[in-house]
Structures are given as structure tokens and as C-alpha cells.
Structure 1
């Protein structure tokens, strides 16, 4: 029987979900990963914007530490050096310098977990990626990508990654149970402002709201500019902490999934919000992208829309029985394929396989037993 893995994660945030989808992704994944008997230390850069909005200051499922700057990582050098695997996440401040330290310090597997893969690759092409250098992709032993499909081949063939594997986001069913709530909104959207998502939000949420003042809409999330002309029937919530997400989705007849431009072009990039809403059983209206049908089947588990007229037709003409059936089917699919427990098992299998491959390459198969592969 393989011994538990010792994992160190340097991620964007575990303690604050404000303005990012990383925190809830890490929380679900690492809670399930430690439930499998593994040991995790999460290291987070202490930055003021997350310090002001901490909604999980003391994670109960893993060890956690804040560090104020690069120099302070020296305090955790031995933990990094002795870990079976070290994961550096996307968007981590000073991520390039941190990666270089990991290459120098870590004796175990060195992995990069990209929760923003298409954005990362676009920034690498433009030469302005602050958290990953192109040459580092070949230096990491493993590239975990929240985008699957052809992007994995690109990472291996064009950038030289030794191993690129998809690790989609997931959802903790205990945190996102099926709920019965009084319907407050006909259509909701939960997401941080992004310039490349805003045109789709305008088309599939704001314009339908302008045309149907008798219907109720809501946009929850931070960083939206003051100049947006919100219709009177669109409620704005500046920040919604994770413990309020389930009730928010349950109070919505439909919720909208909007995908960033780089992720639409890459395809195979399901967001954590997609899984969370589906787990609640709320029926999702989504933009379209390659690979969506490998996550939820359009027409029976999710509804796709391209124009305001599509959204209005769904909101006004779709029978309630059909809406409920689609939401229930999505929940069933997500529980079967995208729970945090399943994703943690995937992560463990990927890590053990990559550790074994690295040991064989560098030291021979006789050491595989020692690293728990």
C-alpha cells in the first residue's frame, strides 16, 4: 500500500475568495485530498486586498501559512525540500522567482497548476506573463491544467512540458447541496468583472433585462466599473462569500455561465462556477465552446444561448418541468464525474504516476518504493 503524500502548494489564495475563483477550487480539492490521508501545507502570499476579505482564515483540513515576501519563503525551505511534491499555482505574486526557488530547493516532484491556462498561454505569447516564464514549463516535472483538449498537446510539444495533464475544477457536494429556496431571480450571474467577459454578459444578461422589466436579474461579484448602465431590474451584489453561493443559486430559476475569450478559443475550460451551480441543481444557461458537451450535454443537462432573444425565449417559454429536469440532470452528472473527492483521486493518481516516471528517469526503478509511488 502506498504511503501518504506530503504536498506543498504555493497558490494564489486559500484564505480569500474575493475577486478570484482559485480559493474555492483549492478548498474543495485540498479538503478531499487530505481526506484521502495525505498531508498538505498551503503557502499564500499575504497581500492587502485578500487580507481585507478573508473568509477562511484558518482552514481546518490542511496546514496553512502566510508569507509577506519572497525572502520569507526561507522559513518554509525545509518543508519544500522534503515534500514528495510541490505545486506552484497560476497568478501567484512573483511566481517566476518562486518557480526558480522551487527548482533549486525541492527534491521531490515540481508541478505547476494552471487554473488560467488559456490566459497564461496568451500572456506568454505577448511576453507579459508575470507568474510563469515560457522556459519554466519544460523545467516543471508536471503541468496540471484546468484546460484539457488540444492545449495539453501544445504544452508538451510546443513548450516542452514533460507531462501535461488536465485537472479540471470541481465542487464539494457537502458545501453545495441541493436546496429548495423561494425564487428571487429569473436569471443570475456570479463572477468577477473581466473585460473579455463583459460583452457576453451585456448580450446574455443586461440586454435581456432591458427588454423585460417584469423579470428579475442579479449580477454578483466585485470589480465592476462604476460606468456600467445597469437596468433597474438588475440587482447588484458587490461580493458574495462562498457560504452564500448555494442559497444564491437556489434562489435563481436560471443562472448564467460566461466564459473568458481566451478560454472560449482554447475550449475544454469549465469554470468552477459551472460545477457549483450544477451541484445545487440550478439550471444553467451558457455561452458555447469546444468541449462543453464533454462536461454537460447541451439540451438535456445545460442550455446554450448566443443572443438576447435566445435568453428571453428560455426565460418566458421554457416549461418549468423541463427547467427542473435539466437542472436535476446536471446535478447528477456533476456528482458522478466532478466531485472534489473524484478530482482529489485524480490528482493523487497523477502525482504518483509523475513521481514514478521521474524516479525511473533520474534514479532507476529501485527507488520507486521509497517515494510511495
Structure 2
């Protein structure tokens, strides 16, 4: 079946945390026989900061960041059996969604794929005139990359025909154990872009423990932190391309996951970093959120902190041997239960359940 997928970027993770989610899931779907074209706008310097070349398992179309290009690119949805518009494309999202829905053939499966469902739902609650309210009447299915029952129920209450989470996972071909790299040596490392609904939590879970533990070394990766006041034991290295993620994860004694405020409040929203770190065999410390036990076991496969004081206490108690043990346990768990091959098989079952017409089946 042919999929037209409109998202932020497949080629670049620069200011684009969904990149590895798209890559892992779509590559696995391609392995199941799907013919995929990914459409991404040339915005935010992402094309100047590509992490990968266009892959052989997916055609990538990069279009200009203009209204005219959006309209022209949306017309290509007419050739697809499954049309996907993701949230957070980053340029004229509402106009793109409307144009894609108009262009899609009546018998095509029309999907809205929300990669930040708690934030999207908050916008929908605040704005009764949000264009997505009207668009949901024309959308066959909402998929999300997290959120659990709270997100499913909320989307259905908003008028979605159905909503199903497809969680983040591990692609073991891209995220796996490697040798440590001195560039990323630290007692604790955190990788994440500076975002308004995350910064306060980063202050609490990362910057405050660093200030409290001046003899320990802290490593900070991600875009936007250059002008942030920080203690002298924090080494800021800026954007970390995906080719360095494995070394970034395995080289420190532990790595830290900090959820965005909306996702922590909602729960059931493991970030891509959780599975990437576990897939590299890293010792992961994560902030606490509802549903964590569905993915990793606290104390055995992951360490959990309720605040910055917990982070500091965990670091002071954590030995190298204990860190390695947790990392090994986490790697075994994600390889067993949380790979993109498994997520793709689930997505394939969903697509086949919702596809209704002989015209689509004949395109296989």
C-alpha cells in the first residue's frame, strides 16, 4: 500500500525530536511492504543539519517553506492509499492538514498522527475555533506516539472516530551499545532541546543537582541552551546528531530523561530518548510519570527520580557496577518488548482493520 506521510523531518533531528520515531517506525513499515513517501518542509535550518541521507526504504520530498509549495505538495496525497498528516510539521500546519484532506481520494485512509498529544489536546480545549476540531470530522483515525487511555478518551470526546497510541520504541540497527567516547564522559548526561514547557523541569532535575554536586561532572546536549546560566561543572556541547547518540548514551555513568510538562502530567508518554538510551545499554534515570512500569521496571531496568533531590541522591549512591547492571537489564527488556518491528506490526494490523475498499487492497 502507498503511504503519503507529511511530517516535520525524516532527514534531520535538528529541533525535531520526532525524527528517530519516524525513522524507526517507517523503516519497519517499509520492511512490511509499504511504499512510503515522506514530505518535509525546508524550515528551521533542518536541511543544513541533516543526520542522514535520503534512505532507500522511503522516498523523501523536501518542499519550500512557502504557502504555494504547501498547496502543491498536498496535491500529491491524491496518489496514496493511506494519507498521514503529523502534528508539529512546523510550517502552515493547519493549512497543510486542510489541503491534504481535500486532496486525498475519498476511499483513502486519512490519519492524523499526533506526536505531542497532551499539548495538542490542551490547545483544543483552550480554543473552540481550532481548525483541528473541524478536521476531525474528516479524519478516519488518530494515532499518537503516547498518551495511553487519557489521550484516547480525550480525542474521542473531541470527536475523533478513533484514537490509538503507537508508542516510541527501539530500532536496534541505529541505537545499540558502542564503545565509550571521552567526548561524552560525565557522571550524568542530559540530551534535550530547550523548550518552554520543559525548561522549568530541566532546572529542577538537571541544573539544581549539578549545582548541589560540584565535584561531579554533568554533560548537556541539545539546542538552545547557550545563554542559560549554569554551574561550572556542566559541559554544554550543543546539538548532538543522531550518529553520536549511542556514544553519548554509553559514555556517562548515567543519562537523564526529563519529560515535557504536559507529557509528565498526562503520563504514558515515554520519550524516544528512553528507548534510545536503553537500547545502547545505558543506565537511565528518568523523572517519574504514570505508566512507566508498562515500559521499564523501576529499580531493575531504570532509576526513577521525583525531583532534583532524588537525582542527586541516586547519583551519590550509584556505582559503576550498578549502572552497568541496570543498563544490561534495560537493553534486554527493550529488545524483547519495545522494538519498532513490533510497533510496525501493530500499525500494520491497525491499517488493515481501518482500510475498507477493494481499491486500496488492489494496490498492495
Give the TM-score, by structure 2 length.
0.92
**2:56 aligns with one of 55, 60, 70:** 60
Residue 291 (str. 1) matches residue 303 (str. 2):
no
**1:7 aligns with one of 3, 8, 11:** 3
Residue 91 (str. 1) matches residue 88 (str. 2):
yes
* Secondary structure of the corresponding residue to residue 343 of structure 1: helix
Whole-Å separation in 1 of the counterparts to 2:103 and 2:30: 24
Structure 1 equivalent of residue 206 of structure 2: 205
1:125 positional shift? 2.2
Residues 1:91 and 1:321: Cα distance change in structure 2 (over 3 Å): same
1:278 positional shift? 0.8
1:368 positional shift? 7.6
Whole-Å separation in 1 of the counterparts to 2:102 and 2:217: 55
* Secondary structure of the corresponding residue to residue 155 of structure 1: helix
Whole-Å separation in 2 of the counterparts to 1:180 and 1:66: 35
Contact 1:120 1:129 in 2 (8 A): no
1:57 positional shift? 4.1
**1:100 aligns with one of 95, 98, 102:** 98
* Secondary structure of the corresponding residue to residue 171 of structure 1: coil
Residues 1:367 and 1:240: Cα distance change in structure 2 (over 3 Å): closer
Structure 1 equivalent of residue 169 of structure 2: 170
Deviations 1:134-165 (CA, angstroms, capped at 9, x unpaired)? 22123210100112222102111x11111210
Give the TM-score, by structure 1 length.
0.89
Residues 1:75 and 1:100: Cα distance change in structure 2 (over 3 Å): closer
Contact 2:287 2:307 in 1 (8 A): no
Whole-Å separation in 1 of the counterparts to 2:259 and 2:116: 12
Structure 2 equivalent of residue 304 of structure 1: 304
Structure 2 equivalent of residue 363 of structure 1: none
Aligned residues: CA RMSD: 2.1
Deviations 1:249-284 (CA, angstroms, capped at 9, x unpaired)? 111111111011111121111111111011101111
Residues 1:170 and 1:129: Cα distance change in structure 2 (over 3 Å): farther
Residues 1:250 and 1:140: Cα distance change in structure 2 (over 3 Å): same
Whole-Å separation in 2 of the counterparts to 1:182 and 1:195: 31
1:182 positional shift? 5.7
Count of aligned residue pairs for this structure pair: 357
1:128 positional shift? 9.7
Whole-Å separation in 1 of the counterparts to 2:159 and 2:128: 20
Contact 2:109 2:140 in 1 (8 A): yes
User: Gapped runs of 5+ residues in structure 1?
Assistant: 360-365
Whole-Å separation in 1 of the counterparts to 2:116 and 2:22: 13
Superposed counterparts of 1:298-337, under 5 Å: 298-337=298-337
1:172 positional shift? 1.3
Superposed counterparts of 1:36-75, under 5 Å: 36-68=32-64, 69-73=66-70, 75=72
1:129 positional shift? 9.6
Structure 2 equivalent of residue 215 of structure 1: 216
Residues 1:129 and 1:349: Cα distance change in structure 2 (over 3 Å): farther
Contact 2:253 2:320 in 1 (8 A): no
Whole-Å separation in 2 of the counterparts to 1:224 and 1:129: 34
Whole-Å separation in 2 of the counterparts to 1:369 and 1:207: 56
Whole-Å separation in 2 of the counterparts to 1:72 and 1:203: 42
Contact 1:135 1:159 in 2 (8 A): no
Contact 1:249 1:277 in 2 (8 A): yes
